[in-house]
Chain A
Amino acid sequence: MTTATTSVSGPAANAAGENMRFYGVWLVGVIVLVVLPLVFSSGGSLTSFSLIGIAIVFALSYNILLGQTGLLSFGHAVHYGLGGFMACHMMNAVVSHGWPIPLPFIPLFGGLGGLAFAILVSWLMTKRAGTVFAMISLGIGELVASSSLILRSVFGGEAGITTDRTALPRMFGWTFGPQIQVYYLIAFWLVVSAIAMYALTRTPLGRISNAVRDNPERVQFIGYDPHVVRYLAYCFAGFFAGIAGGLAAISFEIANSAYLGAIQSGLVLFATFIGGTAYFFGPILGAILVTYLQLGLTSVTSVWQLYFGIIFIGIVMFSPGGIAGLLMMHRPLLRAGTLWTVIPSYLVAIVPTVALGCGVVLMIETIARYSGGEASAINLFGIAFNPRSPATWIAAAVLVAGGFVIARLTWRRIGEAWDRAATIARDRGYLA
């Protein structure tokens, strides 16, 4: 009996400290969201933050499928897009019928739109996981995307459905005309959705979803039907994707077929995977990075998709756990106090790795601009390179070849330092 009480009180005391840290992280997140537009108040950055917020909700919803339940969907944007259309139609209906529904409630209808379609299609989709599910999701995605161009009355054809967010009944006197008000609306729904999706992972359904991801066969022998688990998880994912779509509809005041398409489905998969599916915060990092890159890269290079591809391949090959996995790898070392032995090898590796990266960028840009007939200079860290000059080609070749040779040596040093640190951490019991 005594052992039972101590074994209960031990984790409980730990839990109090962990609880503090847990709520602290969420609180910091909320504060950052509130303060961010006060620090970066230009219209451009407000729009960027809004887009990032929407992308985070969307990526978190996708991770209910990919990370939590092990379902690889190629058509998640269907629910995002239908949520967007639902929100647009709802906004227009509110205005034309004079319903007393203010704008902040509209994303909820987007969510219901995404949920409704999930309820409808996913019972069949989730019968099987794996390749079968992936292929069906691809098919449904294409089906809905092409229907959206045919069913003009619902989807508005090529032009899409437009709306005016300022025409809705006001709340707290906010018109939601200025971007800052839209930003705070998105931030509010981001916090609500993120909390709800996190809470979902802590429920019996959330835990069993993980079990289905790990081993759907065994789940059947502890009383659960993996089909029902996948179905319910899919419905939640559809709901939150719909909220993200509703937010997008409010932000852009339009919903069109691009919302539903394969590109949008690909982007969310991309963001979620790069961020890391094994941790709840992974997709948040991924959504921030991918949206930021998308906004930043498109203005500096015409071949931005190529960089996306390279990053994706790099992550898949070298860090399948994504950015979150890469960060969390360091936690046992941090706890064991051996992280500092690895840092110097990182610092040493930075220089040649950056040189290699610059070489690759220079090479891609030279080829892209040369073959594209563009003569504009490549601006890299304030240095202008002429894509037609042999000196640029030589510099690119030297950076790539030299950078690679030296970087490999430094990477090997990281590996060795890492092994040493991990061995100590293992001895101290922080690493299994």
Chain B
Amino acid sequence: MTAAIEVRAVEKRFGNVSIIRDLNLSIAQGERHAIIGPNGAGKSTTFNLISGHIKPTSGEVRLNGDVISGLRPFEINRRGLSRSFQVTNVFARMTVWENVRCAVLWATGHRYAFWKNVDHLPEVREQTARILEDIHLTHRRDVPAGLLTYAEQRELEIGVTIAGGATVVMLDEPTAGMSHAETERAVSLIRRLTEGRTLVIVEHDMSVVFGLADRISVLVYGHIIASGTPEEIRRDPKVKEAYLGEEAH
């Protein structure tokens, strides 16, 4: 079976500085894959490279076997890859309902339509309502996104990310800044919502990573030093060194 995401020999340079070098990563269909690594290792850059936010200097990225490196973010999104952001990145002046609905519109085929009343599209309404139920924000549907609590905004962020029905979902530190209880809630939410999809997640909270991921890749200085099941990663001496080395600073 073709991998959901295949990253081959990707390099990203800013001027003379190599942020990412010889990045190779393979994520199977339906897998929950976590990317971990010390601060500044290039985890978010990796996300940006895969989702089209920035273009690789060299190398290629494939989504379900098709080359997507060099495509623009919305072209990649239309092929079934959706991502969230580390810093909440929603439509602040629009309501919760409208945020999710906007994320549903392209996938339901309404595109740039200016001849349809957006309130009279049953499938859009149903899908939006379902997503709101899923992220437990139905009671907040008419609140502008900018006025939500932090945890609610993070949940909305996840809702907007999955609303289009993407088959590959990438979440960038979804539980950052959350309390312990909020984190648990978010993890069960993520587990439920990404059922049957491929999940790529960047996370600092190791309990989340080891509880959620099928496979883990460890990124250090823009290079993947190890990739494997949680058990393999736990035992890997290179990983221990990288993390211990960081703590020794």
Contact = CB atoms under 8 A, between A and B. Distances in A.
A142 B25 CA distance: 53
A200 B83 contact: no
Nearest to A431: B147
Interface string B147-185: 100000000000011011000000000000000000000
A220 B77 contact: yes
Given A208-B105, A211-B102, A218-B89, A7 B138 contact: yes
A202 B119 contact: yes
A278 B111 CA distance: 24
Interface string B86-98: 0001111110001
Contacts of A8: 129
A215 B107 contact: no
Contacts of B106: 222-224
A215 B112 contact: no
Interface of A: 4, 7-8, 199-200, 202-208, 210-211, 213-215, 217-225, 228-229, 232, 236, 278, 432
A432 B91 CA distance: 17
Most buried by A among B77, B85, B92: B77
A84 to B, nearest CB: 25
A36 B231 CA distance: 80
B64 interface: no
Given A203-B113, A207-B105, A236-B114, A221 B91 contact: no
A221 B129 contact: no
A202 B147 contact: no
Q: How large is the interface on B (under 10, 10 to 19, 20 to 34, 35 or more residues)?
A: 35 or more
A224 B113 contact: no
A346 to B, nearest CB: 26
Contacts of A224: 74, 106, 112
B238 interface: no
B129 A4 contact: yes
B14 interface: no
A221 B169 CA distance: 11
Interface of B: 51-52, 72-74, 77-78, 82-83, 85, 89-94, 98, 101-103, 105-107, 110-119, 121, 129, 133, 138, 143-144, 147, 160-161, 163-164
Contacts of B93: 210, 213-214, 278
B91 A215 contact: yes
B51 to A, nearest CB: 7
Nearest to B104: A222
A210 B129 contact: no
Q: Among A210, A218, A229, which residue has the most Cβ atoms of chain B within 10 A?
A: A218
A364 B161 CA distance: 56
Given A8-B129, A211-B94, A214-B93, A204 B74 contact: no
B200 to A, nearest CB: 14
A222 B164 contact: yes
Given A210-B91, A221-B161, 8 more contacts: A199-B117, A206-B118, A211-B94, A213-B93, A220-B72, A221-B74, A222-B74, A223-B164
B89 to A, nearest CB: 5
A214 B93 CA distance: 7
A8 B132 CA distance: 13
A225 B112 CA distance: 10
Contacts of A220: 52, 72-74, 77
B103 A222 contact: yes
A4 B138 CA distance: 10
B45 to A, nearest CB: 16
Contact of A215 (B74, B92, B101, B147): B92
A229 B118 CA distance: 16
B92 to A, nearest CB: 6
A205 B129 contact: no
Contacts of B111: 204
Contacts of A214: 91-94
Nearest to A7: B138
Contact of B105 (A204, A221, A278): A204
B85 A218 contact: yes
29 contacts: A200-B114, A203-B116, A204-B110, A204-B114, A204-B118, A205-B113, A207-B102, A210-B93, A211-B91, A211-B98, A213-B93, A215-B89, A217-B89, A218-B89, A218-B91, A218-B160, A220-B52, A220-B74, A220-B77, A221-B73, A222-B103, A223-B74, A223-B164, A224-B106, A225-B72, A225-B74, A228-B112, A232-B112, A432-B147
Nearest to B98: A207
B115 to A, nearest CB: 7
